[in-house]
Structure 1
Amino acid sequence: MSRVILVTGGAGFVGSHCVLTLLEANYEIIVMDNLSNAICTEINQNCLPESLRRIELLTSKKVKFFNTDLLDERGIGQIFRDHKIGAVMHFAGLKAVGESMVKPLEYYENNVTGTINLLKVMRKYNVKNLIFSSSATVYGLPQYLPIDENHPTGSTITNPYGRTKFVIEQILSDLSNSEKDWCIVSLRYFNPIGAHESGEIGEDPQGIPNNLMPFISQVAVGRRPKLQVFGDDFKTKDGTGVRDYIHVMDLAWGHVIALDKLFQNKWSGYKIFNLGNGCGLSVLEVITAFEKITGVKVPYEIVARRPGDVDAMYADNSKAIELLGWKPNYTIDDMCKHTWNWQSKNPKGYRTDNS
């Protein structure tokens, strides 16, 4: 099997960290990204996304890049025609929960239709090894904690983003049932945070951050005046929402391990794994941990709860530990330390006007 891996959405936060880890594991990487959540720098004349340019410097290896959209089936096909691809890691997709509430059609078109386009091209070129970037949002409102892979999915999802992930999972399951030569792994993320310990790549959301940790770090570095904490009346120990936070490098290694299993022909059909730390932290606990590690005060205000936010959600990760041979290695202190290393080195993210 060819060790050439196509990574869709590989210039984004999770995708870029997986690209780096795949290169370190001696895979050859092609990245396809429409740059909706990534930038190219002015000094980068070939318009290689800045995250990938830095990865090339960190690894001393090259990345082939194509500015191609999932909705461009012909463009996807061109990539497959010109390269002997062995497997696909599929990260590309719109992912802001709040935005999905006001732009549901765009989310269904981009995420679901885009994935169907990708699968059709993969089938045409007989590339049937896929690792899909899924989400714990498919579980909807938790019926019990911690959440394992047998928890019901679909019926109580609270936003269109989560429903697109659920629909895609159903498509993948149906496809693997109907065509037995597919090998598909869905990895259900909980809350990826942190950054590569070099501080050269990290999370750089465009506009106001939708997730907690980049919001905290942007406040700490002075880009925003204060953090908004959405609600203090949850049924938790301090009234703020509890979530499972996983270091992005632990997440990246989970992908590489799953890919290795596919290449060793140890699996067939459709597999699902939770990738989370296996415990929950409240918003205020994360703020406190960040302040302790960095010595920087993070001012915040309590504002109204967001529609659809649940009290607590965290993973049972025992299946991934047992069957993948994976386990999380980084603590919340590591996550805070590495986030701050990235943000303090890059106050404006990947933009070139950091000075």
Structure 2
Amino acid sequence: MENKVIFIGASGFVGTRLIETALSQFEISNFDKNQSHFYPDLTQIGDVRDQGSLDKALIGQKTVVLLAAEHRDDVSPTSLYYDVNVQGTKNVIDAMKKSNVNNIIFTSSVAIYGLNKINPNENHPHDPFNHYGKSKWQAEEVLRKWYNESPEERSLTIIRPTVIFGERNRGNVYNLLKQISGGKFAMVGPGKNYKSMAYVGNIVEFIKYKLENITQSYEVYNYVDKPDLNMNELAAEVEKSLNKKIPSVHIPYPVGMLGGYCFDILSKLTGNKYAISSVRVKKFCATTQFDATKVHSSGFKPPYTLQQGLDRTLQYEFVADKKDDITFISE
């Protein structure tokens, strides 16, 4: 009973690695609207918007790890962010109350801080710039209210990861690494903006670490693998890992934004979604650095350096032979 953990939304990129990491130590079940490629025998199909299926899934559980979220930049309608991320969290809390489950680990996001903030720590004011960030902050508020109702009995850990990358992921970092490694990369701006990143192999180990050390308390952690790299340094790491010279072209920021707006218009006219948009250009050129002193002072030791995570990802994606073509799409 003590080691029974239900992962909600663990059929995707982070969840799959988390199950793999924690399976030997915990009795795990997965509740997800999608079937798991690798762990179908542990997976119950269900949606966080369906209270009844959540209620059944949480019977007998000890701890919840809530990963489920709408997180892409282009979710439509935007109400889905709030239906899944906020109301879904409320539904999970209601199910927890019915089954007397008092421990939850929740993956939020550094998106709650907004863009171009100066190295915010966990106490920095929230200022989300998009619906994803706003909905994640509202979900956090739901969880804090639940915790404060009975703090002597409950455990709440909120983890705010920066952008997560790793093997099998198909998101913005993968697209960037693919462009750089293929020599088709154009740097928008001077490339001196820093990017906080998190390797999936490290963040799942941190979640497992918190599962191993549950206490009746409320904690919030930014998760970032340090030290941060700027865009020029990231390109240099790709060169080093792949042992190849990467040509780079620098495009002025105003020109890059103009191109992004053009793709926005084209997307509205055609109904198609494109890899380039004004939001993505803005995010690419923003400094996204976050203070992770707390997580790295918690006793947790990440098994990989950021450079090792990048190298493992690059070697898997662009050098080694693939055993299968299973990938996970995210931002």
TM-score range relative to shorter protein: 0.7 to 0.9
What are the superposed Cα offsets for residues 265-316 of structure 1, whole Å, 9 maximum, x if unpaired?
xx22421011112432223322331232023566777533634637322232
Return the TM-score normalized by structure 2: 0.80
Q: What is the match of residue 17 of structure 1?
A: 17
- CA deviation digits over 1:324-354, x for unaligned, max 9? 3113342333122211233244498407xxx
CA contact (8 A) 2:12 2:36 kept: no
Change in CA separation of 1:298 and 1:174 when aligned onto 2, cut-off 3 Å: farther
Q: Which amino acid aligns with 2:85?
A: N
Calculate the aligned-residue CA RMSD, in Å: 2.7
| Counterpart AA for 2:239 | E
Is residue 2:77 matched to residue 1:88? no
**Structure 2 unaligned residues grouped into runs of 5+:** 261-277
Secondary structure of 1:313's match?
coil
Whether 1:295 aligns to 2:249 is no
Amino acid at match of 2:28: I
User: Aligned residue for 2:213?
Assistant: 261
- 2: CA distance, partners of 1:311 / 1:318: 21
Structure 1 vs Structure 2: percent identity of aligned residues?
A: 24
**Is residue 50 from structure 1 mapped to residue 37 from structure 2 by the alignment?**
yes
Report the 3-state secondary structure (helix = DSSP H, G, I; strand = E; otherwise coil) of the residue aligned with 2:5. strand
Match of 1:149 in 2: 122
Partner of 1:28: 27
Q: Secondary structure of 1:244's match?
A: strand
Which of the numbers 145, 165, 179 marks the counterpart of 1:193?
165
Question: Partners of 1:71 and 1:300 in 2: how far apart?
Answer: 46
C-alpha distance in 1, partners of 2:313/2:296? 25
Find the partner of 2:144 among 151, 173, 178.
173
1:325 aligns with one of 299, 302, 309:
299
- 1:102-125 Cα shifts (integer Å, max 9, x gaps): 532111111111111111111110
Aligned to 1:162: 133
> What amino acid is aligned across from residue 208 of structure 2 in structure 1?
V
Aligned AA (2:234) = V
Structure 2 Cα separation of the partners of residues 250 and 91 of structure 1? 16
1:130-173 CA-partner distances (Å, limit 9, x unpaired)? 0000111111245432x2111111xx211110111111111111
May I ask how many residue pairs the two structures share in their alignment? 297
- Residues 152-203 of structure 1 show CA distances to partners (whole Å, capped at 9, x for unaligned) of 11xx2111101111111111111111233221100110122223xxxxxx31
Alignment of 1:243-262 (within 5 A): 243-262=195-214
